[in-house]
Amino acid sequence: MSIWKYFALRSVLPVKSICGFAGTVVFTARALIGIAGNQSANQCMKKSEAISVIFSNSANLLRKSPLKKNRGIKQGRILKTSLIMECKPVVFFDSGIGGLPYLEMARQRVTGELFIYLADRKHFPYGVKRPSEILTGVMESLGLAIRRFDPRAVVVACNTASVIALAELRKKYDIPFIGVVPAVKPAARSIPAGRLAVLATERTLADNYLADLIRNFAEGCEVIRYPLGKLVDLVEYDYFSTSAAEKKAIVSRELGNLKNSAVSSAVLGCTHFILLEEELKSAMGGGVEIVDSREGVTRQLIRVLEDKGSGEECHGRRDCFYVTGEPPVEERYRKFAGKYGLEFAGILL
């Protein structure tokens, strides 16, 4: 073949066929080494989504591949945008299972979206850690989910993570983040000059974020900051193994003197406490209004999703529950997934 014919041929070679070839090689290689290695890709995604995962991995492989070196092409990128219908889920994130009631409300109100829940089991609990440790944990684990799922929106369904990491997350990623912070504003609105208790982790209670919320929205109220870290552990570790009567007794004991402090309203400033809402209500007594932020967070999520258009390309997928950390994963996480109607997908790799 003449040199001119060779160059003419090369210049008209469709880019996609080069990409397709590269993709096939990588796809086959990955299939051989085993897509089943990632259990979650099988359970929670349609085939096309699994392929998308493979191809986004293939982008990494291609970066090192001689194909790229020789041809100077960015096949990985082209493949991702040209061949794959991307489904962008909404990710809910918490240190553990506390964010599930938030996801539950979102699933009741929002249709046509795929939801992924991630419990940061690897770094649990957040509430007793230093801010820098929490920030590192959130950036690592939520960062993994963001790279893996490319979400349309993220709900940081954890007060402690939100007060510590929201600003950093917004700086780093061009994704809408919906934070979950103690519902001081709505609680104070109904008792402008009353006594208000904020029940939360030590870290949330000590944070300036909460101080600002109180200064801005509950100026006229007397605010009692009440840490309840033991209840976080009760919910995360022993929710299924503790009887209703035991839960009631533990909650009552942990509330201690707060029960006699004549508070008008108690803000559930830790997402885990929502799973003990009934016990908290009954221990505090009928006169105390129990307030949480689910309603406001869900409304905000709906606003964000309306701005972003529909998530139709996710149609038919199952909402999934992942955890971080190492195997073996404790059985209770599968039970939590079942309780909230989610597919248990194991460890997020």
Q: Catalytic positions, please?
A: 158, 270
Sole binder of ligand DGL in the list 40, 52, 95, 293 (CB under 6 A): 95
| 168 closest CA partner among 148, 130, 139 | 139
Considering the rule CB under 6 A, would residue 324 count as an interface residue with ligand DGL?
A: no
Least separation in angstroms between residue 143's CB and ligand DGL is: 18
| Residue 94, beta-bridge partner list | 119
Q: How far apart, in whole angstroms, are the C-alpha atoms of residue 150 and residue 189?
A: 37
CB of 56 or CB of 201, closer to ligand DGL: 201
Least separation in angstroms between residue 177's CB and ligand DGL is: 15
Q: How far apart, in whole angstroms, are the C-alpha atoms of residue 246 and residue 68?
A: 62
Alpha helices in 191-272 (DSSP H): 202-206, 208-217, 229-238, 244-255
Considering the rule CB under 6 A, would residue 194 count as an interface residue with ligand DGL?
A: no
Sole binder of ligand DGL in the list 124, 149, 321, 333 (CB under 6 A): 124
Considering the rule CB under 6 A, would residue 305 count as an interface residue with ligand DGL?
A: no
Considering the rule CB under 6 A, would residue 209 count as an interface residue with ligand DGL?
A: no
Least separation in angstroms between residue 95's CB and ligand DGL is: 3
Least separation in angstroms between residue 229's CB and ligand DGL is: 7
Sole binder of ligand DGL in the list 23, 89, 101, 127 (CB under 6 A): 127
| 276 closest CA partner among 290, 256, 293, 260 | 290
Q: How far apart, in whole angstroms, are the C-alpha atoms of residue 217 and residue 267?
A: 13
Considering the rule CB under 6 A, would residue 141 count as an interface residue with ligand DGL?
A: no
Q: How far apart, in whole angstroms, are the C-alpha atoms of residue 294 and residue 105?
A: 7
The residue number whose beta carbon is nearest to ligand DGL equals 127
Least separation in angstroms between residue 228's CB and ligand DGL is: 10
Considering the rule CB under 6 A, would residue 204 count as an interface residue with ligand DGL?
A: yes
Binding to ligand DGL by CB under 6 A, coded x per residue (else -) over 216-255, reads ----------------x-----------------------
CA distances from 112 to 234, 254, 318 (A): 34, 41, 11
Q: How far apart, in whole angstroms, are the C-alpha atoms of residue 9 and residue 342?
A: 52
DSSP 8-class letter at 329: P
CB of 130 or CB of 315, closer to ligand DGL: 130
Least separation in angstroms between residue 94's CB and ligand DGL is: 5
Least separation in angstroms between residue 203's CB and ligand DGL is: 7
Q: DSSP states of 72-136 as a string?
A: ---HHHHHHHHT------EEEEESSSTTHHHHHHHHHH--S--EEEEE-TTT---TTS-HHHHHH
Which residues, 151 to 190, sit near ligand DGL by CB under 6 A? 158-160
CB of 62 or CB of 157, closer to ligand DGL: 157
CB of 180 or CB of 196, closer to ligand DGL: 180
Number of residues that bind ligand DGL (CB under 6 A): 17
User: Roughly how many angstroms between the first and final C-alpha of the chain, as a whole number?
Assistant: 49
List, edge to edge, every strand of the sheet that includes 289-291.
Answer: 222-227, 195-200, 265-268, 289-291
Contacts of 316 (CB under 8 A, 6+ apart): 46
Considering the rule CB under 6 A, would residue 94 count as an interface residue with ligand DGL?
A: yes
Which residues, 250 to 289, sit near ligand DGL by CB under 6 A? 270-272
CB of 188 or CB of 198, closer to ligand DGL: 198
Kindly state the tokens that stand for 342.
């989610």
Considering the rule CB under 6 A, would residue 45 count as an interface residue with ligand DGL?
A: no
Residues that bind ligand DGL (CB under 6 A): 94-96, 98, 124-127, 158-160, 201, 204, 232, 270-272
